[in-house]
């Protein structure tokens, strides 16, 4: 099915759980309405015979820097694909600023393993039920916070002049 | 039995000179032998240096590049420069090493490599000592190198070096059997273990040499050369020094002159097994009479060394268990079968 | 009589190691010669490219992308430029698309030739390394004539390419491709029938297809396990759907298949480049209206490219400003390294070296 058909099908099948977003400029982008529903939605997407989205391409956390309102600060963006049916779909979850937590998607897509380790290490987003959160990319003795957050600062972090 | 010393004019002259100086007779022989030892050492050092240079040039030309070109014509004294560089290097010693073992490992390896040259026949009448157990002595002495590898692995206090040492011990011990049995296959027809006798029984030109004369000669030569490549720790059997796997294996913690000793010992070993192959299979120093016998010997040995070098730069490396499997499940039965056939031929007199 | 007790010991392979390509540290728990557990420790090449990109304009991010995977820097540049073009709906002129396709495929050939050399060297054959690099030089020379660089090209820009090719590029390129396709028989002839090579690579390190799909393995590693998926065909970008070429797939998933598949891919890439050179049109090389201060409109996109190591993808979120809000890069080697502990255990360390070499992992993609 084409991208438009995919968007229409997913909107209809998951009405109430997924909301299509217009900001996705190419492949269909859906917002998971309830962050706690994420694992069930992921499983449904994988097991749906017309979608078969069993391949996780990318999972990245975003700090939008929006502190007002504070409950939409962090987002996590998952890009999934179906290899047999050549489909592509994007999912998004919005997390609040306070203690952002998300469920690990390893039971559905084992590839989420290392992507989720980065969520914790660089953003401070705790991943429930992950088997190995901890030091990953940063040095062993890193104690300077979560670097990818927009409000992170360090003595030697130089911001380019706005011109 | 000391044939060579009397025949070599220099040593005769030296003996007369020392006698003329009034030294007691019991001192003349040790001094002459000492001079002979120094001369042998010098020859072997030159041979090792030449082989290192030659290997680099052969490797380079196989790989479509030039190799050493700067130091001298086509880099002929590159190895001397490398030796001088290694002499100047700091002797880095791991603090937790086993001091005695670490120190003596390169010495043992070096000495073991050179000991074999007591019985190598360089030409007609050019042998240090024609022991009547010649070839057996060489087989025994070349096994000493495994002690030095194990000592190096243990003394370095390094997991990688220990793994390398143990693998090499397993490898050398496994390939001793096919090597010795291949040698035996030829010895049956000679009737004597003395190196000079072996060469003398192949007098003449090509078709008198054992590799062509005996029906099982080619097979014995092939198994010998494969086993000898493994004995000399050369690719495809260079697991102990596999750079890509264990970062140089047993000699990882050695630097400077100690490393140079291991390195030179490896090349001297390579020359030893080639010399033994030439003696046993290719007629030693025999050839057309108008060329001196030692030139024939050197020429043939360098051809076999060339063969070993071509092996190294062409084939990938065997995995340790595949290597052991190849030795025990393939080479050993093959060489024993060859030996039995040789025995049958000798008994029935089907040879000349 | 005391029982013989053997202990497992932990050996560190790398970060300084000749055969972990780049600075990768593998903590191996070994029982004698057998590796029982592998734990990759990464981050030695972490340059925080993503954080830097949040602080740069879109045009300033482009040269940074070359460093994400410097062996195939053209793909990285295109990955970012393509994503921004999707965000902004930029129409790239046809000549620029042809040039981009040619450069990407030439880069793939160069990368696979390097793979051939390095894999053979890791398994012990030293000579193929120089043969592979000798042919790679032909391609690198072409790149140097076009954009001045041998490794990190900074050639593909948002909206097109930075400079046009020289007049003698096309004949030189054709000649280089002729030389390479003639030499392929040398490469396969040297190794493929060699019993030592076959023992070291056939049946060694089989990556099952479902494990590969579960862990997001992509590219040649996935296709060598029998999964017929190539982003150039299944989700086409640039001009791949206009050319006549095949997707190379191999059934077994062992080291030999991974190695042969990349050689097959070289032949297919040669086909693509030849067709592209035949059909190269005249025209502009840069889209109109894209300046150095280009601001992508608000939106988010994930754009992916079939790199020689797998799926190289970038996720960009923009809020309409000069600098992107988030750039998340995903490299093919990331997933190959992620799946390594799950299929490469319980074999000897020599096999691990062969598996690691044929997975073609390079660290800048993993650490960014």
List Cβ neighbours of A2 (8 Å cut-off, separation of 6 or more): none
- For residue B159, the model assigns a pLDDT of 72
Q: Which residues of C touch B163 (CB under 8 A)?
A: 33
Give residue B290's pLDDT band: very low, low, confident or very high (50, 70, 90).
confident
Q: What subunits touch chain C, counting only 3 or more CB pairs under 8 A?
A: A, B
- For residue B3, the model assigns a pLDDT of 46
From the list C43, C50, C300, the residue facing A29 with the nearest CB is C300
Give residue C18's pLDDT band: very low, low, confident or very high (50, 70, 90).
low
- For residue C225, the model assigns a pLDDT of 92
Q: How far is CA B6 from CA B22, B122, B132, B199, in A?
A: 20, 16, 18, 20
Q: Is the pLDDT of residue B256 over 80?
A: no
Mean pLDDT, to the nearest integer, of C45-61? 89
Give residue B1's pLDDT band: very low, low, confident or very high (50, 70, 90).
very low
Q: Which residues of C touch B65 (CB under 8 A)?
A: 130
- For residue B221, the model assigns a pLDDT of 92
- Cβ B63–C349 below 8 Å, yes or no? no
CB atoms within 10 A of CB C347: 18
Of the listed ranges A50-59, B9-18, B148-157, the least confidently predicted one is B9-18
* Nearest chain B Cα distance for residue C104, angstroms: 28
Q: Rounded to the nearest 10 degrees, how much is the dihedral formed by the CA atoms of C71, C72, C74, C79? A: -130
- Cβ A62–C317 below 8 Å, yes or no? yes
Among residues C353, C252, C308, C346, the alpha carbon closest in space to that of C78 is found at C308
Say what the pTM is: 0.88
Which segments of chain C does DSSP mark as H helices, in order? 49-53, 58-66, 73-88, 94-123, 127-147, 169-191, 195-201, 209-214, 220-224, 231-234, 255-278, 332-343, 349-359, 363-367
- For residue B206, the model assigns a pLDDT of 77
Of the listed ranges B29-38, B169-178, C188-197, C209-218, the least confidently predicted one is B29-38
What does the pLDDT look like over B34-65, one tens digit per residue?
888 888 888 888 998 899 999 999 999 988 88
Phi-psi region of A87 (alpha: psi -120 to 50; beta: other; left: phi over 0): beta
- For residue C98, the model assigns a pLDDT of 93
Of the listed ranges A7-16, A83-92, B251-260, C157-166, the least confidently predicted one is B251-260
- For residue B4, the model assigns a pLDDT of 53
Return mean pLDDT, chain A: 86
- Cβ A26–C326 below 8 Å, yes or no? no
Q: Is the pLDDT of residue A141 over 50?
A: yes
Q: Which residues of C touch A148 (CB under 8 A)?
A: 50-51
Give residue C269's pLDDT band: very low, low, confident or very high (50, 70, 90).
very high
Percentage of chain A modeled with pLDDT above 70: 98
- For residue C3, the model assigns a pLDDT of 63
Of the listed ranges A17-26, B156-165, B286-295, C324-333, the least confidently predicted one is B156-165
Q: Which residues of C touch B160 (CB under 8 A)?
A: 11
Give residue B324's pLDDT band: very low, low, confident or very high (50, 70, 90).
confident
- Cβ A90–C302 below 8 Å, yes or no? yes
Q: What subunits touch chain B, counting only 3 or more CB pairs under 8 A?
A: C
Tokens coding A71: 């409950």
Of the listed ranges A79-93, C15-29, C307-321, the least confidently predicted one is C15-29
Judged on CB neighbours under 10 Å (0-12, 13-18, 19+), B242 is: buried
Contact at 8 Å (CB) between B323 and B169? no
Tokens coding C215: 């862990």
Q: Is the pLDDT of residue A34 over 80?
A: yes
Q: Is the pLDDT of residue A61 over 80?
A: yes
- Cβ C196–B64 below 8 Å, yes or no? no
Give residue C20's pLDDT band: very low, low, confident or very high (50, 70, 90).
low
* Nearest chain A Cα distance for residue C317, angstroms: 8
- For residue C327, the model assigns a pLDDT of 93
Mutation pick from A42, A111, A157 vs chain C, by most beta carbons of C within 10 Å, is A111
Return mean pLDDT, chain C: 89
Angle between helices B217-231 and B332-348 (to 10 degrees): 140
Q: Is the pLDDT of residue B333 over 90?
A: yes
- The angle subtended at Cα A27 by Cα A22 and Cα A33, nearest 5°, is 55
Percentage of chain B modeled with pLDDT above 90: 19
What does the pLDDT look like over A97-108, one tens digit per residue?
888 889 899 999
- For residue B244, the model assigns a pLDDT of 47
- Cβ A147–C42 below 8 Å, yes or no? no
C350 interfacial to chain B (CB closer than 8 Å): yes
- For residue C139, the model assigns a pLDDT of 92
Tokens coding B163: 């793994």
Of the listed ranges B87-96, B168-177, C108-117, C351-360, the least confidently predicted one is B87-96
Mean pLDDT, to the nearest integer, of C42-47? 89
Give residue C13's pLDDT band: very low, low, confident or very high (50, 70, 90).
confident
CA-nearest residue of chain A to C232?
A: A86
- For residue B2, the model assigns a pLDDT of 44
What does the pLDDT look like over C230-256, one tens digit per residue?
999 988 888 898 999 999 999 988 999
Percentage of chain A modeled with pLDDT above 90: 19
Q: Is the pLDDT of residue B248 over 50?
A: no
- Cβ C55–A27 below 8 Å, yes or no? no
- For residue C2, the model assigns a pLDDT of 58
CA-nearest residue of chain A to C342?
A: A110
Of the listed ranges B93-107, B204-218, C12-26, C29-43, the least confidently predicted one is C12-26
């Amino acid at each position: 099915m084409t991208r438009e058909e995919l968007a229409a099908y997913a909107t209809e099948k998951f009405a109430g759980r997924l909301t299509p977003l217009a900001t996705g400029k190419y492949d269909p982008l859906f917002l998971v309405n309830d962050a706690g529903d994420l694992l069930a939605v992921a499983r449904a997407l994988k097991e749906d015979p017309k979608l078969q989205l069993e391949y996780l391409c990318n999972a990245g956390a975003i700090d939008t820097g929006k502190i007002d309102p504070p409950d939409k600060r962090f987002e996590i963006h998952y890009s999934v694909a179906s290899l047999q049916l050549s489909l592509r779909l994007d999912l998004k979850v919005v997390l609040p600023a306070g203690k952002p937590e998300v469920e690990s998607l390893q039971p559905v897509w084992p590839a989420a393993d290392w992507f989720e380790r980065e969520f914790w290490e660089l953003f401070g987003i705790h991943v429930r039920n992950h088997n190995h959160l901890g030091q990953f990319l940063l040095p062993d003795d890193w104690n300077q916070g979560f670097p990818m957050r927009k409000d992170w600062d360090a003595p030697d972090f130089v911001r380019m002049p706005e011109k | 039995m000391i044939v060579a010393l009397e025949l070599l004019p220099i040593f005769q002259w030296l003996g007369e000179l020392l006698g003329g100086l009034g030294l007691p007779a019991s001192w003349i022989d040790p001094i002459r032998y000492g001079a002979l030892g120094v001369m042998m050492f010098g020859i072997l050092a030159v041979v090792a240096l030449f082989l290192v240079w030659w290997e680099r040039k052969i490797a380079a030309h196989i790989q479509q590049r030039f190799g050493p070109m700067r130091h001298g014509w086509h880099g002929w004294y590159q190895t001397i420069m490398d030796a001088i560089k290694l002499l100047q290097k700091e002797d880095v010693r791991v603090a937790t090493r086993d001091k005695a073992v670490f120190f003596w490992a390169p010495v043992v390896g070096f000495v073991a490599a050179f000991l074999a040259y007591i019985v190598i026949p360089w030409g007609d009448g050019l042998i240090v000592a024609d022991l009547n157990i010649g070839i057996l002595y060489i087989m025994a002495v070349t096994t000493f190198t495994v002690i030095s590898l194990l000592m190096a692995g243990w003394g370095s206090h390094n997991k990688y070096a220990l793994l390398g040492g143990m693998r090499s011990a397993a490898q050398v011990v496994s390939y001793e059997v096919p090597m010795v049995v291949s040698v035996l296959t030829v010895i049956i027809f000679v009737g004597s273990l003395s190196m000079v006798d072996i060469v003398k029984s192949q007098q003449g030109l090509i078709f008198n040499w054992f590799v062509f004369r005996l029906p099982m000669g080619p097979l014995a030569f092939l198994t010998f050369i494969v086993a000898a490549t493994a004995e000399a720790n050369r690719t495809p059997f260079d697991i102990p020094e596999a750079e890509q796997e264990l970062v140089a294996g047993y000699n990882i913690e050695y630097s400077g002159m100690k490393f140079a000793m291991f390195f030179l010992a490896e090349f001297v070993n390579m020359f030893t097994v080639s010399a033994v192959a030439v003696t046993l299979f290719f007629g030693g120093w025999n050839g057309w009479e108008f060329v001196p016998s030692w030139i024939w010997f050197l020429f043939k040995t360098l051809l076999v060394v060339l063969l070993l070098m071509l092996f190294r730069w062409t084939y990938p490396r065997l995995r340790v268990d595949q290597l052991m499997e190849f030795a025990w499940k393939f080479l050993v039965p093959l060489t024993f079968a060859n030996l039995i056939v040789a025995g049958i031929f000798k008994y029935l007199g089907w040879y000349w | 009589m005391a029982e013989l007790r053997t202990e497992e010991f932990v050996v560190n392979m790398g970060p300084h190691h000749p055969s972990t390509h780049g600075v990768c540290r593998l903590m191996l728990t070994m029982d004698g010669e057998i590796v029982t557990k592998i734990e990759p420790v990464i981050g030695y090449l972490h340059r925080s490219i993503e954080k830097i990109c949040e602080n740069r304009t879109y045009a300033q991010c482009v040269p940074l992308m070359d460093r994400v995977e410097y062996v195939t820097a053209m793909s990285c540049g295109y990955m970012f430029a393509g994503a921004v073009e999707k965000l902004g709906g930029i129409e790239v002129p046809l000549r620029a698309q042809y040039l981009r396709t040619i450069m990407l495929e030439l880069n793939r050939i160069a990368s696979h030739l390097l793979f051939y050399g390095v894999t053979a060297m890791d398994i012990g054959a030293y000579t193929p390394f120089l043969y592979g690099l000798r042919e790679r030089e032909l391609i690198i020379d072409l790149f140097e004539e076009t954009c001045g660089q041998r490794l990190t090209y900074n050639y593909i820009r948002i909206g097109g390419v930075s400079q046009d090719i020289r007049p003698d590029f096309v004949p030189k390129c054709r000649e280089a491709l002729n030389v390479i396709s003639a030499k392929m028989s040398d490469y396969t002839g040297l190794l493929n029938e060699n019993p030592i090579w076959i023992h070291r690579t056939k049946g060694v390190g089989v990556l099952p297809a479902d494990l590969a799909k579960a862990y997001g393995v992509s590219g040649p590693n996935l296709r060598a396990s029998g999964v017929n998926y190539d982003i150039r065909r299944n989700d086409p970008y640039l001009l791949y759907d206009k050319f006549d070429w095949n997707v190379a797939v191999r059934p077994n998933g062992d080291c030999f298949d991974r190695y042969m598949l990349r050689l097959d891919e070289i032949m297919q890439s040669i086909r693509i480049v030849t067709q592209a050179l035949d059909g190269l049109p005249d025209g502009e090389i840069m889209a109109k209206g894209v300046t150095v201060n280009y601001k992508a409109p608000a939106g988010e996109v994930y754009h992916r490219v079939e790199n020689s190591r797998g799926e190289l993808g970038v996720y960009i979120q923009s809020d309409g400003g000069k600098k992107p809000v988030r750039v998340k890069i995903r490299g093919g080697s990331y997933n190959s390294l992620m799946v390594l502990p799950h299929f490469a255990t319980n074999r000897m360390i020599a096999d691990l070296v062969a598996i690691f070499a044929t997975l073609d992992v390079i660290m800048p993609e993993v650490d960014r």
